[in-house]
């Protein structure tokens, strides 16, 4: 068993493109780290450097206590699982799983033992004699996992292994991979652009943007305490609502002007973030997660001065919650980060980050999650209660969270 350490690792491709910049990661022995970020941010490049499939331009890579920068892939004791599983069509499942061991001339009975163990773990036992053409997508993916497992490597490297599967199967395989990883306790780096996989699968999540690591930590911590606007907008579905707001300080009372709405912030907000005083009279980016809003009719004792008057423009009943859209007459936050997020949402087919319908308008779409007991209707004028203690504040210039 071994951890993986990247120390100021850089990748500059031959054409001069700097795909990974000063990447520092310290992945503990047995840890499951998810590397996430929009398309082109350098995830696969980083993973391929760990695998030895791509040269490291500068920096140090350690697996266990060995520096492996110049070691060939086969000497690194890693096993990779890719998006395309590339099974051999003329071999059975058992032969496919065993292939890597056979070419290493492992004794037959040891091969049989390992194949059996992997097959049991992945519930492939009844399928061992089948050929890949007679397997479902999920079963093929499991065979690919099996091939990696029998190698008994120090490190698993997985690059979007589930992206070819349909949504339902992805949910199931997500749980299976996480379970297998826990059982084997093998250090794993898992690349995805799917923030739900990032939230649910790993011990920690590392988010990259344009080759630069933005934040790394426990998924819930990153969700609750995003370091900047990019992280806030990327982690979470629907994405965090964000709008430009102005802060006013009356003694120790903070008021947030969000378009025509004025929210009195809970006293705990300023106590926790004294630096907000510096923003009095200035603009900042205010963030609000959908679950931190509720239909005011369901919260009888909700403070009168923490409400947004809204007209609903779309209601999505998900059963467990009502997803309620409305427009806020506050300007959207438009930075390089929000543009990148909107671009990424388009390619990933996700709901776009809260943004203006047109750049000229000063309206921002907000998305709230109400309890299904709310009988809110489309086009209805309602009041939305905001849990101001759970609001997020960012410097609109740097994008950095204001939290001390
Ligand atoms: N051989 C190469 N030469 C030059 N640039 C490259 C090369 N391979 C990748 N790149 C560029 O490096 C950047 C990072 O690519 P990479 O494949 O690591 O992204 P990714 O985060 O894995 O994206 P995706 O989610 O689309 O798989 C991209 O802008 C890509 O165009
Ligand atoms: Mg990739």
Please identify, among 233, 264, 282, the residue that sits at the C-terminal boundary of a domain: 233
328, 261 in Cβ contact below 8 A? yes
Q: Is residue 51 part of a domain?
A: yes
The residue whose C-alpha atom lies closest to atom 28 belonging to ligand 1 is 40
pLDDT of 345 reads 82
Identify the domain boundary among 233, 263, 279: 233
Query: Is the C-beta atom of 388 inside 6 A of ligand 1?
Result: no
Within this chain, do residues 281 and 220 fall inside the same structural domain, yes or no?
Answer: no
Burial class (CB in 10 A: 0-12, 13-18, 19+), 311: exposed
Report the distance separating Cα 32 and Cα 133, nearest Å.
31
Span 175-226, pLDDT tens digits: 889 998 998 999 999 999 888 899 999 999 999 999 999 999 999 999 999 9
Query: Residue 357: pLDDT above 60?
Result: no
Question: How many residues are present in the chain?
Answer: 404
User: Are 52 and 184 found together in one domain?
Assistant: yes
- Residue 353 is predicted with a pLDDT of 47
- Same structural domain, 192 and 59: yes
104: which 2 tokens? 């290493």
Residue 348 pLDDT exceeds 80: no
276 phi and psi angles, rounded to 5 deg:
-60, -25
Question: Which H or E run contains 346?
Answer: helix 336-348
Q: Which two tokens stand for residue 101?
A: 């061991």
Average pLDDT value for residue range 293-316: 96
Note whether 249 and 297 are same-domain residues.
Answer: yes
- Residue-wise pLDDT for 3-44, tens only, equals 999 999 999 999 999 999 999 999 999 999 999 999 999 999
Q: Tell me, yes or no, whether 177 and 47 share the same domain.
A: yes
Domain count, the chain: 2
CB-count burial class (<10 Å; 0-12, 13-18, 19+) for 380: middle
Are 251 and 279 members of one domain?
A: yes
- Of 233, 252, 268, the residue at which a domain comes to its end is 233
pLDDT the model gives residue 385: 98
Q: CA 247 to CA 171: how far, in whole Å? A: 42
- Does residue 399 belong to any structural domain of this protein? no
pLDDT of 350 reads: 52
Q: Which domain holds residue 168?
A: 4-233
Return the ligand number nearest the Cα of 82: 2
Give domain status of residue 209, yes or no. yes
| Pair (254, 376) in one structural domain | yes
In a domain, 403, yes or no: no
pLDDT in tens, 61-73: 999 999 999 999 9
Q: Rounded to whole angstroms, how far apart are CA atoms 9 and 32?
A: 20
Rounded Cα distance between 294 and 105, Å, is 63
Please report, for the domain that includes residue 104, its CATH number: 3.40.50.300
Compute the distance from residue 39 Cα to the ligand 2 centre, in Å.
Answer: 7
Mean pLDDT of the chain: 92
Distance 142 CA to ligand 1 centre (A): 26
In a domain, 50, yes or no: yes
- Pair of tokens at residue 81: 């699982």
Same domain, residue pair 22 and 155: yes
pLDDT beyond 50 at 290? yes
CB of 42 within 6 A of ligand 1: the answer is yes
Q: Which residues contact 397 (CB under 8 A, 6 or more apart)?
A: none
Structure tokens, 195? 């923030």
Q: Which residue is associated with the tokens 């006293």?
A: 267
- In this structure, are strands 283-288 and 364-370 parallel, antiparallel, or unpaired? unpaired
Q: Is 41 in the pocket of ligand 1 (CB under 6 A)?
A: yes
Q: Is any atom of ligand 1 closer than 6 Å to the C-beta of 45? A: yes
Same-domain pairing of 51 and 121:
yes
């Amino acid at each position: 068993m071994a951890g993986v350490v990247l120390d100021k690792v850089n990748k500059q491709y031959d054409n001069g493109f700097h795909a990974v910049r000063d990447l520092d990661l310290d992945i503990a022995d047995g840890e499951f780290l998810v590397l996430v970020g929009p398309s082109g941010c350098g995830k696969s490049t980083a993973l391929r450097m760990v695998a030895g499939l791509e040269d490291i331009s500068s920096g140090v890579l350690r697996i266990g206590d060995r520096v492996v920068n110049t070691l060939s892939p086969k000497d690194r004791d890693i096993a990779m699982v890719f998006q395309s599983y590339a099974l051999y069509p003329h071999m059975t499942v058992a032969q496919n799983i065993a292939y890597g061991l056979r070419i290493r001339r492992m004794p037959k009975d040891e091969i049989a033992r390992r194949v059996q163990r992997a097959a049991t773990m992945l519930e492939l036992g009844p399928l061992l004699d089948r050929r890949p053409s007679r397997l479902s997508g999920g079963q093929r993916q499991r065979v690919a996992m099996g091939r990696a497992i029998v190698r008994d490597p120090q490190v698993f490297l997985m690059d979007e292994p589930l992206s070819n599967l349909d949504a339902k199967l992805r949910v199931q395989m997500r749980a299976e991979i996480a379970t297998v990883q826990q059982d084997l306790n093998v250090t794993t780096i898992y690349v995805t652009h799917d923030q739900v996989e990032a939230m649910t699968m790993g011990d920690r999540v590392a988010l990259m943007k344009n080759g630069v690591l933005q934040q790394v930590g426990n998924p819930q911590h990153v969700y609750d305490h995003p370091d900047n606007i990019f992280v806030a907008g990327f982690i979470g579905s629907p994405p965090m609502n964000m709008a430009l707001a102005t802060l006013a300080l009356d003694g120790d009372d903070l008021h947030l002007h969000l378009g025509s709405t004025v929210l009195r912030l809970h006293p705990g907000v300023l106590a926790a973030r004294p630096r907000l005083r510096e923003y009095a009279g200035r603009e900042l980016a205010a963030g609000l997660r959908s679950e931190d809003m509720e239909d005011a009719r369901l919260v009888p004792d909700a403070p009168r001065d923490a409400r947004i008057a809204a007209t609903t423009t779309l209601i999505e009943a998900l059963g467990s919650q009502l997803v309620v859209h409305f427009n806020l007459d506050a300007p959207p936050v438009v930075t390089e980060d929000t543009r990148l997020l909107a671009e990424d949402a388009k390619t990933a087919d996700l709901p776009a980050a809260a943004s203006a319908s047109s750049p000229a308008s000063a309206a921002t779409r907000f998305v709230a999650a109400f309890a299904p007991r709310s009988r809110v209707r489309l086009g209805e004028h309602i009041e939305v209660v905001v849990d101001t203690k759970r609001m997020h504040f960012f410097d609109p210039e740097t994008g950095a969270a204001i939290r001390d």
